[in-house]
Amino acid sequence: MYQFNDQFNNAARQFADAAANVNRLALENAGKVFGLQMAAIEDSFNATFAYASELLDVRDAEGLKTVWPKGLQVARANAERSFGAAQEAFAGTIKTNEAIGALAKSQFEQAGAQVKAEVEKATKAASKAAK
């Protein structure tokens, strides 16, 4: 009975360690994604408010004609910034998922090796008892 409890405790500890590593990786990725998105939003707000202050200074149609192209440029830059942050976040998430997959694979391989060792040990013990 003691051997079974010891094996169960070892398996539970390995599972808890793997779960902690998965959570750590996921939280690190979430922090990076949040930081990327917040930086992009901050830059977009700054550019938009700078353009809005210029737009408030316009007093006639000629002034509007000169400021209008800059507004389109700001909108385009904001969209590109947002898209770039989303792409970078997606790439980071893929890398994190690959790391989690590698961690899970190593856990399965380690568990398989332990089971194989226990089966070989039990087979040897059974063959010695049969003789």
pLDDT tens, position by position, 108-129: 888 788 878 888 888 888 888 7
Please state the pTM of the whole predicted model.
Answer: 0.73
Determine the residue type at 19: A
Domain ranges of the chain: 2-120
The encoded tokens of residue 46 equal 């700054």
CA angle 104, 106, 111 (to 5 degrees): 95
Q: What pLDDT does residue 4 have?
A: 64
